[in-house]
Structure 1
Amino acid sequence: MNHPTDFAVARLPNQTDALVSHLNGNYAGLIPSSTNKTLPEKYFFWYFPAPKKLNSSKLVVWLNGGPGCSSMEGLWTENGPFAFNDNGTMISNPNSWHLQANLLFVEQPVGTGFSMDESSSEFDLLALAQSFYTFLDTFVQVFKDTKNMDLYITGESYAGTYIPYISNRLLNAVVWSDGTPIQLKGIAMGNPQMDKSIQSDPAAAVSDFDFFNDAGFFKGANSSDIKKQAAALAEECRNLTMEQALQQPHNCYLAALLGPWYTATHTELGVGSTCFDPYHIDFQYPCGNVFNDHGYVKEGYMSDYLNTLEVQRAIHAIPQTSDEKIEWSECNNVQLNANANAPSATLLDRIISTQVNVLIYVGDRDSVCNYVGVERVLGNMTWGGAKGFNPTIASQPWILNASSAGMMRRERGLTYVRLFGSGHMVPADSPVAASALLAMLLSGSSNGGDSIQMPSGSKGGRRSLAECAAFLMVFIILVFS
C-alpha cells in the first residue's frame, strides 16, 4: 500500500510562491481501478486538501463528461486551484472549490487522459461504477483521513450519466473494504445528460427547438424562415428511430441546421467566419479556426503544460526517471457502451430515498444539455412517490448576493436550479454562482450561497477547446453509437 507522501507534488514548473501558499499541499498520481494483476488499470487523480483553518470533514469529487473528457479541464479551467491568464501565466483561482472542502479530481473512465487503458476492452456503466469504487476504496485507504469524511460526487455533462451509477454502487457497497461505512451525503450534476431518449435521441430535436425558441435565438429580420425550417425538422424527427434520423437533414441535429444560417447572418468575426457556440449560444468563435480562437487559448495553455515531461514527472503521471512523456489529450475515445444500461435518471429515486442530497443545476444558455431537455427528464422521472415536480408549486428565485441569479425548485429531496446567463460549464461561466451551489450542496440548505463570503467581480471563462472542436463527433457518439 502506498503512502500519501508517494503522491506528494513538491513543486510544479512555473509555480510561484504565491501559488504554493494558496494550497494546503497537493497530491497526484495513479491508483488502481481494477484488481486485474495481468492488465492493471489505473485512474489518474489530483487531490487538493482544504485549507487547514477550514478543518473540513468533507470530500468533494469532481468529474468531467464526454464520455472520455478529462477532469483536468475542470481543474484548470473551471473550479480547481489553478488557472491560466490570457498570456499563459499560471495563477490561482479565487473561486476554487478546495476553499470549501477537500477536492479530488479523477480522470475516468479508463482511457481518459492519463488513465491509460491497458486492455482496450468494452465496458458498460455497471463496470465503470465498479472501477470507480475500486479506485476510491484504494484512495481512502492511502489517504486515511478521508475515509470517514462526508462524500460528495459532483460533475457536469456526461457525468450526469456516470454519477448516479457510481453513487448507486457506493450505496450498494455500504462500507469500504476495511468495513468503514461509506458516508455518501450528496451529489451534484451540472447540465447533465441523464436520459438519452429525451436529450440526445432524434426526438431531442423537439426539446432543442423549444430551447432555441425560448432562449430568443431566433431574432432579427432574417430569422422567420430558419425558425420554420427548425420547427419542421423537429416535428419530423419526433418519432424517428436512430436509423431513420440518419436520412434526415443534419441527422436531426438542430444546431447543425442553425449553424450555417447563423454564419450567413452574422459578421462580427468576419464575413463567413462567425459561428455560434452551442455550449453558450451568446458566444461566438471563428468558424473553422477554433484552435486559434483567443477565447479558447487557456485550454491550449493547459494542454501544452500537461504535455511537458517535467509536469508529468511532477504529478507522477510517469515515473520520475522516465524520459518518455505520455501524449495527453483533453478528450479521448473510450470503450464505454452505455446502450445496454437504463438511463441514469432512473437511479435517482433510490439515491434520494437513502437521504442523499441531490442537486441538479443548469446554465440556461447551453444548447447541448439544455434546460428544456433536463426539465423534461425531471418531468418524466418518478421520485419520492410522485412524478415530476408538483405543478401547483411555483419556482422560487435563487438569490445570490441579494440578486436573483436563477430559479429554483426543491421537492422530495431533489433540488433543481436554472442559472441565468450561464452556459454548459457553469463553474467557468459563473464561478461565484458555482461556488454558491457547492455551498448549498454541502450545507443541505437552499440558501447555502448566502452562508459563505462570496468574492465579487469574478469573471467567467469560455467553452472547452477540445469539446467545441469535437462537438459534432461527441454528438454522434452519444446519439448514434
Structure 2
Amino acid sequence: MGLQRGHGCGPGSVVALHSFTKVELLEGLLSYAGYEEIKPEGATDAGMFYTYFPRLGETLETPKPDSPVVIWMNGGPGSSSQIGSWTEIGPVECVNGTDGKQALKPREPVTGVGLSFTVPNNLTVNSTITAGKHFVQFFTQLFEGSLAPLKSNPLYIVGESFGGHYAPYFTWLLARQGVRISGMMIVDGWSYPEVQSQYYAAFLRSWGVAAGATVDRVLGQQANVALTIRQGNLEAASGLFDEVTGDNYPGEGRDPFEIWMNNNKKALGAPDFANFSSGNEIIYNAFKQDIPRSYADYVAEVAGQMPVLVINGQLDYIVNTEGVINELELKGLIDGQGGPWRLDGQMAGRVYKGKLTLAVVNLAGHTVPEYQPGPARDAIRHLLSNSSDWDN
C-alpha cells in the first residue's frame, strides 16, 4: 500500500521533507527517493515516502515532455508499494546471486511509492476515504516540489489488488480538483466485493481444483459474504472473505526482500529509524470496515472521463476473473464476449472492450506482472499509447 505508515519513529527524529536522494542503482540507471509532508489528524509530523524511476536515458532534471509518469500503488491494505517497485514493475529487481548474496538486475522502468512514517507512530488510516485525503496532500506537495519538472507530463494512476479501491477513488479525487490525468489502470483489483466474492466456487470447479463437499462449503461461505455486506456488517464480512480465500494476513515476517530493503534503506534515501516491512497487519485490521465496500461507481465515473484498463490474472483466485467480468458487465462497462489478445504471435490472453478495456492474462495469478512480465508490459504499453489493437 503506497500509504503505509512506517514503524519506529520517535520524538526528535529528523527527516528532510520536500527533498529527495538521487541514487545510481546500476551504471546509468538512476532513481530518486524522498519524503513529502502530509498532515494526518493527531500527528505532529508525518512523511510519505516515494521512489521515482526516470525513463531510461533521462533524468528528473531533464525529462522529455511526453514521458509518461505512472504512480503505482500496491494494496493489502497494508502492503508497501515497494513490493511493486522491486518485484513487479520497476526498472530493477532484487535477485539471489550465485554466491548466495542478493543483487540488483535491470528490468523495464515504471514507478513506485512506499515506506512512510507518522509521529506518534501508533497512528494509522482505516479507510480509502481517509487515505485519499493523505494522497492528495502528498500528490500536491510532490508535484509542486521534488517532481515539479514532471508536472505537465502525461499522468497515469495504477492500483493493484486492494489498489482497486485506491486507484479509482484517488483518480476521481484528483480529477475533481482539475488535475489532468491521461489514464488509469487496475491490476487484479478489488473494487466491487459483493459481486466479486460470488465466484470462488465456480473458479474451483471450472479449474478442477475442488469438487463435491468442498465446493458446497465455499458456495455457502461466499453467500454469507454477500449477505453480511448487504446487512451492513462490514467487519464480519471481511472475516468471512478471509475464510473463503484463505487470505488471512501473513503478518510481518522477515523475508529476503525485507532484509534487502532494510540493509539498503540509507542508499534509497530512507532514515535509520524506518523499519521496512512488506505488510502491516495493524493497517489491514484497521481497514476491516472498508475492505468489503464497493468502489465500482468510481471506476465507472473515471471510465467516463479517461481511458481505463483493467488487467486480471487468469489463475487469480483472490480476485478471480469471472468475478471481475461479471462486476464490469453489471456496471455496463464491457461487452462480455471478448476477443483474442496476441503478443508476438502467441496467445497472451483475452480482451473485453466497452467503456473501458479488460485484459485477462493467461497463466497469471494474483499480481500479474510477477507471473507474466511480458504481457503485463504489453498491457501497460497499450494504456500509455492509448492503443486499441490487441491482436498482433
Per the TM superposition, whether the score is higher than 0.5 is: yes
Alpha-carbon distance in 2 for matches of 1:189, 1:157: 8
Q: Which residue identity lines up with residue 197 of structure 1 in the other structure?
A: E
For 1:172, the equivalent position in structure 2 comes to 176
Which one of 317, 339, 357 corresponds to residue 396 of structure 1?
339
* Structure 1 residues 117 and 434: alpha-carbon distance in aligned structure 2, compared to 1, 3 A threshold: farther
Q: Give the corresponding residue for 2:106.
A: 93
Q: Which amino acid aligns with 2:257?
A: M
User: For 1:139, what is the secondary structure of its paired residue?
Assistant: helix
Do the aligned partners of residues 74 and 372 (structure 1) sit closer, same or farther apart at CA in structure 2, a change above 3 Å counting? same
Q: Which residue of 2 aligns with 1:285?
A: none
Residue 385 of structure 2 is aligned to residue 447 of structure 1: no
Q: Which residue of 1 aligns with 2:129?
A: 126
Does 1:316 pair with 2:269? yes
CA spacing shift, 1:62–1:122, aligned 2, 3 Å: closer
Distance apart, 1:376 and its partner CA: 2.2
The secondary structure found in structure 1 opposite 2:75 is: coil
**Alpha-carbon separation, structure 1, partners of 2:234 and 2:372:** 39
Unaligned runs of 5+ in 2: 1-15
- The equivalences for 1:57-68 within 5 A come to 57-68=67-78
Q: CA deviation at 1:370?
A: 0.9
Pair 1:406-2:337 in alignment:
no
Query: Relative to structure 1, is the Cα distance of residues 238 and 430 closer, same or farther in structure 2, using a 3 angstrom cutoff?
Result: same
Which position in structure 1 is the counterpart of 2:313?
363
Give the aligned partner of residue 283 of structure 1.
none
How far apart in 1 are the matches of 2:149 and 2:294? 34
Q: Pick from 112, 117, 123: which aligns with 1:105?
A: 112
The code of the aligned residue for 1:150 comes to P
Amino acid at match of 2:316: D
The AA in structure 1 aligned to 2:354 is E
Cα distance in 2 between the residues matched to 1:244 and 1:361: 27
**Structure 1 residue 246: Cα displacement:** 6.7
Match of 1:186 in 2: 183
* Whole-Å separation in 2 of the counterparts to 1:35 and 1:226: 45
| Amino acid in the other structure paired with 1:187 | M
Residue of 280, 284, 304 corresponding to 1:353? 304
- AA of the residue aligned to 1:331: G
Structure 2 counterpart of 1:351, one-letter code: V
Tell me the residue number matched to 1:137.
140
Instruction: Please name the residue that 1:416 is paired with.
Output: 358
Match of 2:195 in 1: 198
Structure 1 40/189 Cα, relative in aligned 2: closer, same or farther at 3 Å?
A: same
Between the aligned residues of both structures, percent identity stands at 21
Contact in 2 for aligned 1:233/1:252 (Cα 8 Å): no
CA distance in 2: counterparts of 1:232 and 1:64, whole angstroms: 30
Aligned with 2:45 (options 40, 46, 50): 40
Aligned residues of 1:363 and 1:422 also touching (Cα < 8 A): yes
Matches within 5 A, 1:236-255: 239-240=227-228, 253-255=243-245
TM-score (structure 2 length as normaliser)? 0.80
For 1:377 and 1:419, the matched residues in 2 are separated by 17
Q: 1:228 to 1:57 in 2, by over 3 A?
A: closer
Deviation readout 1:210-232 (Å, 9 max, x if unpaired): 111122313xxxx5443444445
Distance 2:348 2:126 in 1: 40
Contact 1:61 1:104 in 2 (8 A): yes
Cα offsets for 1:242-263 (capped at 9, x unmatched): 879979x97783345xxxxxxx
RMSD: 3.4
Larger Rg: 1
Aligned residue for 2:258? Answer: 303
Moved more, 129-138 or 418-427: 129-138
| Map of 1:343 onto structure 2 | 294
- Judged with a 3 Å threshold, the aligned counterparts in structure 2 of structure 1 residues 244 and 46 are, in CA distance, closer, same or farther, namely closer
Candidates 202, 220, 226, aligned match of 2:214? 226
Cα distance in 1, alignment partners of residues 234 and 191 from structure 2: 23
**TM-score (norm: length of structure 1):** 0.66
Q: Is the 8 A contact 2:117 2:274 kept in 1?
A: no
Match of 2:204 in 1: 212
Unaligned runs of 5+ in 1: 108-112, 175-181, 257-277, 280-287, 292-298, 319-323, 382-386, 451-481
